């Protein structure tokens, strides 16, 4: 099936690269798009009160958003290889804006949850922008460009939580989503005027395109490896942020929306690390970056456990976890984008579906664990997930090296046998 995919345009290999201004615009657009997924997180306690539901039910909003994102990744993002990307990006952003308006005026929890689901689906436009930036970059700067765009995406996550908390405290939680809609409309207009047209890279039917994603997973062991690491990696991220708002709103902290939102800034180290991780990947250190990142994520949970009563420990733990998660994520993406230049949107689909599926499953588990076992149970869950990721990474690397050695030795062994 993949044999029917057209070749990537020559510009992918010989392009002088995207201008810095365009890269920064793509970074801002990615950040604004993905921010929509996180506006609700610091407001979960407030939303529970506004709609008259339990904290456990409000916590499921994180899961609903991530399920929507997974659906968008599976069904929407692959179209980036099949359609002209500028038009696809701007239209999708306008649909996101309409969904944000619906969330802002939602009369009850069911309507709000439906709006959040659609926002999750359409916010996947960020994952159309990332492979687009990879295609526009020259070969020797691809990791750096992707890292810069991802830095924008990660700063968007950080700013989303902070802005959401501050705006909700100053105005109302509904104003948060209204302002998000304005941002999406504005960016859609700017991108329509600024982005170059990027022709499709695939000549397939839609069903064939979706089927080719499964073919990529089957044929590329490196993709499968990075999908599993990403799934567990983002699972840790979701464990933290699904439960953090409830911890900070309750004893001993009793913080309001504005202060809870500010805790998102503790993850700034992760956003800063994204471009560094991209450069390391360009220099061939992607594997070492992944190893160190996973160790940092595991260690962060010991610090976060002390954050139950120590705000300093909590801030340090958040910073460490975000640093590790985002560094591993960039290393993963840089690795998979070396595989099939003509299928980067589909590679993104495969990887990010696993990534957010891990987040959705772990956020749902976290809501249950927090209700029954509190912050201590959440930290055990996070540490177990991080430990599993590290063990899998070490085992898969050892198996891969053994296979390479076996392949390298086999011709020599066969040759020696024949000479006897």
Mean pLDDT of 105-113: 94
Helices 126-136 and 344-419 meet at what angle, rounded to 10?
60
The reported pLDDT for the residue numbered 417 is 38
Per-residue pLDDT of 128-148, as tens digits, reads 887 777 666 556 666 667 767
pLDDT at 407 over 60: no
pLDDT at 311 over 90: yes
pLDDT at 3 over 50: no
b/e code 277-310 from CB counts within 10 Å (16+ = b): bbbbbbeeebeebbbbbbebbbbbbebbbebbee
Per-residue pLDDT of 189-199, as tens digits, reads 999 888 877 66
pLDDT-derived band at 158 (thresholds 50, 70, 90) equals confident
| 3-state SS assignment for residue 315 | helix
- Look at residues 192, 81, 87 and name the one whose alpha carbon lies nearest to residue 131: 81
Q: Report the C-alpha gap between 366 and 369 in whole angstroms.
A: 5
Per-residue pLDDT of 9-18, as tens digits, reads 333 443 445 6
Per-residue pLDDT of 218-262, as tens digits, reads 999 999 999 999 999 999 998 998 888 889 988 889 888 788 878
Q: Are 325 and 236 in contact (CB under 8 A)?
A: yes
What percentage of the chain reaches a pLDDT higher than 70?
82
Per-residue pLDDT of 79-99, as tens digits, reads 776 777 788 889 999 999 999
Q: Given CA atoms 11, 12, 14, 18 in this order, what sign does their dihedral have?
A: positive
Q: What φ, ψ does residue 189 adopt, rounded to 5°? A: -65, -45
pLDDT-derived band at 265 (thresholds 50, 70, 90) equals confident
How many DSSP H helices and E strands does the chain contain?
16, 0
pLDDT-derived band at 115 (thresholds 50, 70, 90) equals very high
Residue bearing the bigger pLDDT, 15 or 401: 401
| Average pLDDT across the chain, whole number | 82
Q: Are 106 and 61 in contact (CB under 8 A)?
A: no
The reported pLDDT for the residue numbered 303 is 96
Report the range of poorest mean pLDDT among 166-180, 282-296, 302-316, 318-332: 282-296
pLDDT at 406 over 90: no
Is omega for the bond preceding 110 within 30 degrees of 0, making it cis?
no
Report the range of poorest mean pLDDT among 150-154, 177-181, 331-335: 150-154
Residue bearing the bigger pLDDT, 101 or 342: 101
Cβ-proximal residues to 187 (8 Å cutoff; 6+ apart), any chain: 28, 29, 32, 33, 93
pLDDT at 1 over 70: no
The reported pLDDT for the residue numbered 307 is 93
**Alpha-carbon radius of gyration of the chain:** 22
Question: What tokens appear for 275 in the block?
Answer: 């471009």
Per-residue pLDDT of 355-376, as tens digits, reads 888 988 898 899 889 988 999 9
pLDDT-derived band at 269 (thresholds 50, 70, 90) equals low
């Amino acid at each position: 099936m993949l044999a029917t995919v057209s070749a990537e345009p020559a510009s992918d290999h010989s392009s002088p690269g995207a201008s810095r201004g365009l890269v920064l615009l793509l970074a801002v657009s990615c950040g604004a798009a993905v921010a929509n997924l996180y506006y609700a997180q610091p407001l979960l306690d407030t939303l529970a009160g506004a709609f008259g539901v339990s904290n456990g039910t409000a916590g499921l909003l994180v899961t609903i958003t991530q399920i929507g994102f997974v659906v968008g990744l599976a069904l929407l993002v692959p179209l980036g290889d099949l359609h002209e990307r500028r038009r696809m990006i701007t239209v999708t952003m306008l649909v996101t804006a309409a969904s944000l308006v619906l969330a802002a005026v939602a009369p009850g929890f069911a309507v709000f949850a439906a709006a959040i689901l659609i926002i999750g689906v359409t916010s996947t436009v960020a994952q159309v922008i990332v492979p687009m930036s990879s295609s526009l970059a020259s070969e020797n700067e691809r990791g750096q460009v992707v890292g810069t765009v991802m830095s924008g995406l990660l700063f968007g996550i950080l700013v989303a939580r902070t802005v959401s908390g501050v705006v909700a405290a100053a105005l109302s939680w509904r104003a948060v989503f209204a302002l998000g809609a304005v941002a999406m409309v504005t960016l859609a207009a700017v991108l329509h005027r600024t982005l170059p047209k990027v022709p499709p890279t695939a000549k397939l039917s839609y069903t064939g395109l979706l089927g080719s994603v499964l073919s990529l997973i089957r044929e590329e062991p490196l993709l499968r490896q990075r999908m599993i690491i990403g799934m567990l990696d983002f699972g840790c991220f979701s464990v933290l942020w699904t439960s953090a708002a409830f911890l900070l709103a309750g004893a001993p902290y009793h913080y309001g929306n504005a202060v809870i939102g500010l805790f998102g800034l503790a993850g700034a180290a992760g956003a800063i690390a994204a471009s560094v991780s991209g450069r390391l990947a360009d220099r061939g250190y992607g594997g070492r970056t992944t190893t160190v990142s996973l160790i940092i994520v595991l260690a962060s949970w010991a610090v976060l456990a002390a954050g139950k009563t120590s705000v300093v420990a909590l801030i340090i733990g958040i910073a460490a976890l975000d640093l590790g998660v985002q560094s591993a994520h960039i290393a993963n993406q840089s690795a998979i984008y070396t595989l099939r230049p003509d299928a980067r949107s589909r590679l993104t689909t495969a990887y990010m579906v696993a990534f957010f599926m891990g987040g959705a499953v772990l956020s749902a588990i976290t809501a249950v664990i927090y209700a029954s076992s509190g912050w201590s149970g959440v930290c055990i869950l996070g540490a177990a997930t991080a430990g599993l990721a590290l063990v899998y990474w070490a085992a898969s690397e050892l198996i891969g090296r053994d296979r390479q050695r076996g392949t390298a030795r086999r011709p020599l062994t066969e040759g020696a046998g024949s000479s006897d």
